[in-house]
Amino acid sequence: MVSLKKTAVIGAGSWGTALAKHAADIGHDVLLWARREDQVRAMNDTHVNAQYLPGITLPPNLRATSSLEEALSDAELVLSVVPSHTKREVWMEGKKYLKSGVPVMSASKGIELSTLHLMSDVLHEVLGDQPLAFLAGPSFAKEVAVHAPTAVVLASKDTDLARRLQKEISSDWLRTYVSDDVVGLELGGALKNVIAIACGIADGLGFGHNTRAAIITRGLAEITRMAIKMGGDPLTMAGLGGMGDLVLTCTGDLSRNRRVGIGLGQGKKLSEILTEMGQVAEGVRTAQSAHDLANREGIEMPIARQMYCILYEDKAPRTSVLDLMRRDLKHEKN
């Protein structure tokens, strides 16, 4: 059990709620910020986030608020778990209430579409010299919430900060490793969602394990090429934030991005799938930013390219499969 700490969690989706519950379960005094007042009232009244983490009882030392000022003004640790496309907007407001020197740990995965910036870039731009760290790794929200043993990675350019936060958030069910490869960890966390949609499409089309293994392996090759080009460590891609997170998201039944792909493979429209889910699937937006980033950096990402075509150009999934299989033959290392 760690010492009591006032912790703010910004973002009350499934992952934000699970992390807030985790912090409360290990002894933190937690304020969980949600944008919608009706969601806040329901969580405080019922101690359940029925929309995003149903069936999970939230502890009494976790309270919800719709006020960023209330959440942040006395916080000693902040977890930022808002979706990537709202990160800048939320923190342009939130920075007014954040005390200098309070660590901000980002657990959102994505690439800002308008700028092609990683979440680390966005937070550095908005928050300046505030201590920053970035959490990733194979971690379904529901499983963390019920204390299933889980291993994650916390990356920061400040090694001392990373090691201090490692001790603050680790527990008997959440083991945290540290890294200094912020870029590699963020790209692994963002781009794996696009590959997970591809795996879901293959499942929806009725293909087998051969297809899934090929997509995961060649998807990892695409992510690694981009990580190296942008200054990441290729060894990160062999770890929890690379292969670990990729395998989980591409194979797990709790993966929202895989569920999007399954629906597309079954012939459903994207709008229909997202309405049925009622939650954000980061890979949908990331498919567009990955496509643009690959073009900007001159990196070959054929699977990500086909996901963009399916999601944004209404290309038939079976046609994309054939186009991938008919590409010029080459050495595996290319």
Which residues are catalytically annotated? 192
Amino acid at 17: T
Amino acid at 209: H
Amino acid at 325: M
d(CA 9, CA 23): 9
What's the angle, vertex CA 187, arms to CA 186 and CA 193, rounded to 5? 105
Nearest by Cα to 185 from 115, 138, 248: 138
Which residue is associated with the tokens 């996901």? Answer: 307
d(CA 144, CA 288): 29
d(CA 175, CA 241): 13
Q: Hey, which residues does 136 pair with through a beta bridge?
A: 153
